[in-house]
Structure 1
Amino acid sequence: MNEDERAELDRLVPGPARPELSADRHRLLRGHLMSEIRETKPARARRGRLGWVALPALAGGLALALALTNGGGDGAPAPQQQARQAPQDTQAQPAPQQSTGTLNAAPVGALQLLSQAADTAAGKPDPKPGKGQFVYVESLVAFGSSNIATGESKVDPAHRRQIWLSVDGSQWGVLKEGQGQGGKPNAPEKVKPGEPAPRADGGMWLDPNTRPGLNAPTYAYLATLPTDPDALLKKIYTETKGMGPGPDQEAFVTIGDVLREQIAPPAVSAALYRAAAKIPGVTVVDDSVDASGRHGVAVARVDGGIRTEWIFDPKTHEFLGERTVVAAEGNDFGKPGTVTGHSAVLASTVVDQPGEEPQQKNA
C-alpha cells in the first residue's frame, strides 16, 4: 500500500472511539475484558493457545484484552466447561437506544429490585476508614475465550482474586490473583522506580492512585459523590462521555465496576443502585448464578448481543456478583445462553495493611 492509499484509508476509517487503558488501570483490573480506558499504554494480553481470543467477561472495567496470539503461552488453557443456559428476561428488551443522557425509569421489576438493593446498602454501617487503611475485596472470577478457527467457546474455572486498595489512593495497593484456586499466580514484573521490593507472597504492587475517578475510584473519591440519584447519574454520563459502546451501557458497567471491587459509603452505594434504575434498557433476570454457584435474581442490560447481569441474593438483596451471557443469535461468542464470564464477591471490608486478610469476612 502506498502513502496515498494509506492516507485515504486513514481518512475513511475512523480511529478508535476511546483511548486505551493506562498501565496503572490495567494493573488494577488485570485479567478482565472491555477496557475502562484512561490513558496511553495498551492493556497487556494474556497468552495461551494460538487462535483463542477473549470473550466479553464481566463487562466494563474488569475485562480481558484481545489475547492468546502465540503458542508458547503460560500453559494449556483449562478444560472446556459446559456453558450454562441463562433464563429469559422477565421484561421484553427495549430496542437499542442511541446516546441519551436522559433519566428514564427502569421497568417495574428492575426498579423494585434496585430499590430493595439500595435500601439494603443504605442500612449498612459506614466503615469510615482512615486515610492509611485499605479496602479489601476477595472474589472468584472466571473468564471466557473463543477459538477463532473452530468457533469453540469456553469459560475457564473460577479462581481466587484478592485486592487491597488504598483508601485515599496515596499508598501502594496489592493484587493477588490465581493462588490456590485453579488459576496461575501473578507473573513477576520488573520493579519500577519507587516501587517497593517484590512481595514474598507473590502479590503484585498496584501504583498509588493519585488521580481517582469513576473508572478508577478510591473510597475517598466515592465519598465525594452526590447521593441524589439524578445528580449522580448525570455525573456518570458526563465523566464517561465518549467511552464504551454508548453512554447508557458505559454508565451501567461503570456502576457495576464499583459494586464489584470497591466499597463506598452507604448513602453513595444506595444512590448508585437508584441511579442504575434510571438507565434505559435495564431489566430483570429471574435466576442467575455467580462464579461460586450461588443463585440469585439479577438486574441486567443487553448491549451488542451480550447481557450483563448484576446478581443479588433474593432474600437480603445483597450484591453477590456479576455474569455476562450471550443474549442474541448470530453472536460470534456463542449461542444464546452461553456464559462468557462471571464473578462472585466473597468478602469486602477495610484492613490496616496491604496483604492483610480479615479474621471475619463480610460479604
Structure 2
Amino acid sequence: MSTTPPRPTPAEHDEIARLLPVPAERERPGRHHQLLKDQLLREFRQDAAPAAAKPRFGVRRLTIAAVPLAAGALAVTLATGGQLDPRPGADPLAAVTPDSSGSASGRTGGQATPAAVLLDRIATVAAARPAPAVRDDQYVYVSSTVAWSSQSADETVMRLDTPHSRKIWLSVDGSVPGLLRERGKNIVLADEVDKAGRPVSDHPVGNPAPTLNSPTYRYLESLPTDPDALLEKIYAETKGSGPGPDQMAFVTIGDLLREQLAPPKVSAALYKAAARIPGVTVVDDSVDAAGRHGVAVARVHAGERTEWIFDKKTLEFLGERGVMVQDMPWASSGQVTATTAILARGITDKTGETPGRTG
C-alpha cells in the first residue's frame, strides 16, 4: 500500500468547501478564509494517510491572530542555580543541570534534549521581562512581514505568496474592534461585519469570547503559569480536533503567541509547556521573512516542519517558517510553505497609531 496520501478529488474539494463557515454570518478577512481552506485541505490529506498514522479529522479554526510574540531581547544576568545561563551570547544549546523537581519534560534517560534546553533558556529570558502596564482601552500593536502558501482547486502544488507588510491592532480586552492593515486595505476586526468589512452593530465589539485559538491580552493573563497545568488545559480543550493531539498542542501554543503580548510568567509557561510536547526539536539555522538567521524550535508533521525562530544571542523571537522535509504531491522537499518576521510591537492608545507616535 502506498504511504503517499492521495490528493482530494473535485468532489472532495466541494465537500471541504461545504464545511467552511458562511461568510455572511461572521465575515473575516479574505486571507483567513483562504488559510482556513488551505488548512482543511492539508488535514484532509493527513486524514487520508494509512490508518496507523492517521489523525482524527477535525477543523482547527484559524483566527485573526497570526504571528508569535518576542521572547524579549534582554541583556540580563540571573542567578539560576547553575541550571541555565540566560545571558545574551551564551550558547543556546549549552548543557543544563536537571532541576530538583526531577521533571521529565523534554528529557530522555534523565538527559535534557536540545529542544528542552533551548526552550528553558527562552522561558528564563521571557520571565525576566518586566510586566507591561496595559489598560483595557488600549491595543496590542504588531508590525510584520508575512507570506503564506495557498493552493487553488485546479493546481497540483502549493505556491508561496510574495512577502508583504502586515500591521494589526487588537483590543486588549476584546470590547472594541481592532484593525488590520494589509495590502493597502484597512479591515475592521469586529465580532460581526458585513461583506464590505463594516460593523453591522451600532456598538461593535472586537473579541467578546476569547479562546485558546483566538486570545486577547486579558485572556492570556488568565492562563495557568504552571507549564504542566497549562499543557493539560491545551490538550483537554483541543482534544479530538486537528492533526493529532501533540501537533495540535504545538500549533495551539504558536497560536497563543501570535500577534499578541503575554504576561512574562504566562509567556515563560508557554515555552516550558512546548518543551514537554513529544517530537519538538532544534534547527540550528533558520531564516525569517526579513532574512535574519537564528536558531529554531521546530516540530515535523505530515512532511512539513514548523519553526519558531529566535536570535541565537538574545533569544528574541524573530519570526516563523514552514518548510517541507519530504516530497508530497502538493509540495517538494525543501520548499518554504510560510515565512514571517516581527518588525515591531507594543501598546497603543488608538488603532492606526504606532507606539510612541501616531500614524
Return the offset for 1:113: 1.1
Partner of 1:30: 32
Counterpart among 201, 214, 221 of residue 219 in structure 2: 221
Q: Distance in 1 between matches of 2:22 and 2:321?
A: 25
Q: After superposing the two structures, state which structure 1 stretch, 224-233 or 339-348, moved more.
A: 339-348
Partner of 2:82: none
1:109 paired to 2:107? no
1:340 paired to 2:345? no
Counterpart among 229, 232, 246 of residue 230 in structure 2: 232
Counterpart among 173, 178, 183 of residue 183 in structure 2: 178
Partner of 1:129: 134
Q: Secondary structure at the match of 1:136?
A: strand
Q: Distance in 2 between matches of 1:303 and 1:348?
A: 30
Partner of 1:302: 300
- Alignment-mate amino acid for residue 141 of structure 1: V
Q: If each structure's helix is expressed as a fraction of its own residues, which one has the higher value? A: 2
Return the offset for 1:116: 1.4
* Structure 1 unmatched runs, 5+: 1-14, 43-58, 64-89, 91-102, 197-205
Identity across matched positions, percent: 50
Counterpart among 148, 155, 178 of residue 160 in structure 2: 155
For residues 124-166 of structure 1, what are the alpha-carbon distances to aligned partners after superposition, in whole Å with 9 as ceiling and x for unaligned?
1111201111111111110123467664553222111111111
* Structure 2 unmatched runs, 5+: 1-14, 41-59, 65-92, 94-103, 189-194
Return the offset for 1:335: 1.7
Counterpart among 336, 341, 351 of residue 354 in structure 1: 351
Return the offset for 1:322: 0.8
Q: Secondary structure at the match of 2:313?
A: coil
Partner of 1:189: 196
- Alignment-mate amino acid for residue 106 of structure 2: A
Q: Distance in 2 between matches of 1:60 and 1:113?
A: 29
Q: Secondary structure at the match of 2:147?
A: strand
Structure 2 CA distance for partners of 1:29 and 1:244, relative to 1, 3 Å: farther
Counterpart among 143, 149, 153 of residue 144 in structure 1: 149
Structure 2 CA distance for partners of 1:337 and 1:122, relative to 1, 3 Å: same
CA contact (8 A) 1:284 1:299 kept: yes
1:166 paired to 2:171? yes
Q: Distance in 1 between matches of 2:276 and 2:106?
A: 4
Structure 2 CA distance for partners of 1:266 and 1:149, relative to 1, 3 Å: same
Partner of 1:199: none
- Alignment-mate amino acid for residue 160 of structure 1: S
Return the offset for 1:303: 1.0
- Alignment-mate amino acid for residue 217 of structure 1: P
Q: Secondary structure at the match of 1:30?
A: helix
Partner of 1:267: 265
Q: Distance in 1 between matches of 2:228 and 2:157?
A: 43
- Alignment-mate amino acid for residue 119 of structure 2: L
Q: Secondary structure at the match of 2:213?
A: coil
CA contact (8 A) 1:32 1:143 kept: no
Partner of 1:61: 62
Q: Distance in 1 between matches of 2:140 and 2:30?
A: 13
Q: CA RMSD in A?
A: 3.3
- Alignment-mate amino acid for residue 35 of structure 2: L
Q: How many residues in Structure 1 have an aligned counterpart in Structure 2?
A: 273
Structure 2 CA distance for partners of 1:336 and 1:322, relative to 1, 3 Å: same
